[in-house]
Structure 1
Amino acid sequence: MAVKALEVRSLTKKVKNKVIVDDVSFVVEKGEIFGLLGPNGAGKTTIIRMIVGLIGRTKGSVYVNGYNLDEQFKEAMSEIGAIVENPEFYKYMSGYKNLKHYANMARHKVTEERIQEVIRVVGLEQVIHQKVKTYSLGMRQRLGLAQALLHNPSLLILDEPTNGLDPQGIREFRDYLRSLTKEGISVIVSSHLLSEMQLMCDRFAIIKQGKLIHVSSMDLHNEQDQSLQNVVFEVSDVETAVQLLQENKLTNELKIVGDQQFSINIDKETIAIVNQLLVKNNVNVYGINLVTTTLEDRFLELTGKGKEEVKTSVFAN
């Protein structure tokens, strides 16, 4: 059986009588980006902190590239590069001296060439010799990524890695992660930016109140069900249109959604049939729109949150 980049089995964390993480299991394949999603307080950061050994586990085991975190801690940690919450550096030192400091502490030798390489890939060449106290939050995020990459890890674990980055920086960061996966590096990333995660990840897991409630491939999520699609018709006479559909037994999830609009769940061929039926009976059709389901929609469905609740919770910085 092929070795997984990361395997988490029955991960559990209790504090006194409160269960923070409840029997969570998942795997991250080699060369994939795996998203960890959930409302604030769902347990995402606690899971990440247990994986990297920052806090203890009440129950469960963690395997990194085949190494058991309990029995082969040094070997497992040598496979991981991580940014957990906001990266911290010596602010009175330059970015370069901070990287040099971390390189000197690495288990395996980190060459000057490697240091210069990661500086280039994170785009800090122009400021690397400035003191970190002069860096913006986005620049510190880039420096944190450089530090995590120094020792050539096989697994990157990133908790809210795009905090402080502008849209261009986020896109560059996403493209860079993609280039890493082509080299066989795996990434697990936690973020509240659901639209960005939809563009970034190969698979995702949703955590709610410490429990893993859903795991899916992003490809499967993005694919529209070709046998059944939610379609909105804009017409001249919505009441007549609905009556015609009822008479012809085309009523699957049929709803009036506006003065001139109705929605219905139908397959591709039936879209044409409905259109012909309406036109034949003198109901003008002004628009036919497929309703796509976003990752945010799926998240709201699975976590049972409303739009306003999400705005003040999941999407809060």
Structure 2
Amino acid sequence: MSNTILKVDNLTKTIGSKKIVDDVSFEIPKGEIFGLLGPNGAGKTTIIRMIVGLINRTGGKVNINGHDLDTDFNGALNEIGAIVENPEFYGYMSGRKNLLHYKRMSRNVITDEKLKETIELVKLEHAIDQKVKTYSLGMRQRLGVAQAILHSPSLLILDEPTNGLDPSGIREFRDHLRQLADNGTAVLVSSHLLSEMQLMCDRFAIIEKGKLLHIESMSDTTNMEETLLREVTFTVNNCDQAIALLKQSYDNVTKKDDNQFTIMIDYNSIAEINKTLVQGDIHVYEISSVKKTLEDRFMEITNAAKEVNV
């Protein structure tokens, strides 16, 4: 069996004369968290709704763990667990009874042991027999994940899953997703919160105005190549003396204050400059390099796309 869990080919959605989603293709392998990034209205939710069969596609193909959505609709949906918008439950029932209700409706056989394992995975053991109306938003989100993965789907789809969560809840949620991915579940998550997606995803796709602009691994974004220039800040005991020493070989040294200067250099030059300073009897207290963030990369790619379309 292929390692690819979700394969989307040339997905398109047209309403009237307007293309909401325009020829989008991507794949997600087993055990990967894949992010759809873009501003509100970019087409992320429309893509997700087409994948889970909530709305019709104008064109394109969706294959989920070997099941074609057109020719084997039930088989494809059986591979999916999803939270699209906020999860809804019966508030007057306990978390356990909500999950048991879903268990009875599932096409898959869900054992009592599987139910117990799922509750433990999302860390709701202490509250599972309380009424859902007493749950915090974070607890509801965890119960939503429990419901989505109870039938052991190969693909988990989440649309803006951290909306309304506090920082502690977001971190817990992120940890749950990583545990699921480590156990082999493929995860598709959409969001406009770039800082959270940077911490959450293995790869990401940038969607803007329905078009897929770029796909990249998070490690490629946050770890700049050694050959690229980056701004490096040195904290020393004598900034003027250090600059005078370095200007014999470098012409892009800038003083920040009496103890700090910045310089644009490649990764391999950092050690060489440090050696020069130490040999010149300069005390080096700190060296810091600015790495690219996902926000930097997002702006770089979207701005480049705008320039092409001008």
Q: Say yes or no: TM over 0.5.
A: yes
Alignment of 1:253-292 (within 5 A): 254=252, 256=254, 258=256, 261-268=261-268, 270-274=269-273, 288-292=287-291
1:157 corresponds in structure 2 to: 157
State how far apart, in whole Å, the 2-side matches of 1:127 and 1:65 are.
34
- Whether the 8 Å CA contact 1:141–1:164 is kept in 2: the answer is no
The alpha-carbon distance between structure 1 residues 134 and 283, as it changes in their structure 2 partners (threshold 3 A), is: closer
Secondary structure in structure 2 of the residue aligned to 1:129: coil
1:92 corresponds in structure 2 to: 92
1:300 corresponds in structure 2 to: 299
Secondary structure in structure 2 of the residue aligned to 1:227: coil
State how far apart, in whole Å, the 1-side matches of 2:51 and 2:271 are.
52
2:308 corresponds in structure 1 to: none
- Whether the 8 Å CA contact 2:245–2:280 is kept in 1: the answer is no
Secondary structure in structure 2 of the residue aligned to 1:5: strand
Q: Give 1:234 deviation, angstroms.
A: 5.9
State how far apart, in whole Å, the 2-side matches of 1:53 and 1:255 are.
57
- Whether the 8 Å CA contact 1:94–1:128 is kept in 2: the answer is yes
Q: Give 1:282 deviation, angstroms.
A: 10
Q: Give 1:267 deviation, angstroms.
A: 3.8
Deviating more after overlay: 139-148 vs 118-127: 118-127
Secondary structure in structure 2 of the residue aligned to 1:153: coil
- Whether the 8 Å CA contact 2:7–2:64 is kept in 1: the answer is yes
State how far apart, in whole Å, the 2-side matches of 1:130 and 1:276 are.
63
Alignment of 1:38-117 (within 5 A): 38-117=38-117
1:120 corresponds in structure 2 to: 120
State how far apart, in whole Å, the 2-side matches of 1:220 and 1:176 are.
24
The alpha-carbon distance between structure 1 residues 143 and 282, as it changes in their structure 2 partners (threshold 3 A), is: closer
State how far apart, in whole Å, the 2-side matches of 1:38 and 1:282 are.
50
Structure 2 unmatched ranges of 5 or more: 305-310
State how far apart, in whole Å, the 1-side matches of 2:118 and 2:84 are.
19
- Whether the 8 Å CA contact 2:223–2:292 is kept in 1: the answer is no
State how far apart, in whole Å, the 2-side matches of 1:257 and 1:160 are.
43
The one-letter code matched in structure 2 to 1:291 is V
The alpha-carbon distance between structure 1 residues 232 and 113, as it changes in their structure 2 partners (threshold 3 A), is: same
| TM-score normalised by the chain length of structure 2 | 0.84
- Whether the 8 Å CA contact 1:229–1:290 is kept in 2: the answer is no
| TM-score normalised by the chain length of structure 1 | 0.82
Secondary structure in structure 1 of the residue aligned to 2:295: helix
Q: Figure out how many residues of one structure are paired with residues of the other and give that number.
A: 300
* C-alpha RMSD of the superposition: 3.0
The one-letter code matched in structure 2 to 1:46 is T
Superposed CA offset, 1:65-102 (max 9, x none): 01111111000000000011111122233222221221
- Whether the 8 Å CA contact 2:10–2:24 is kept in 1: the answer is yes
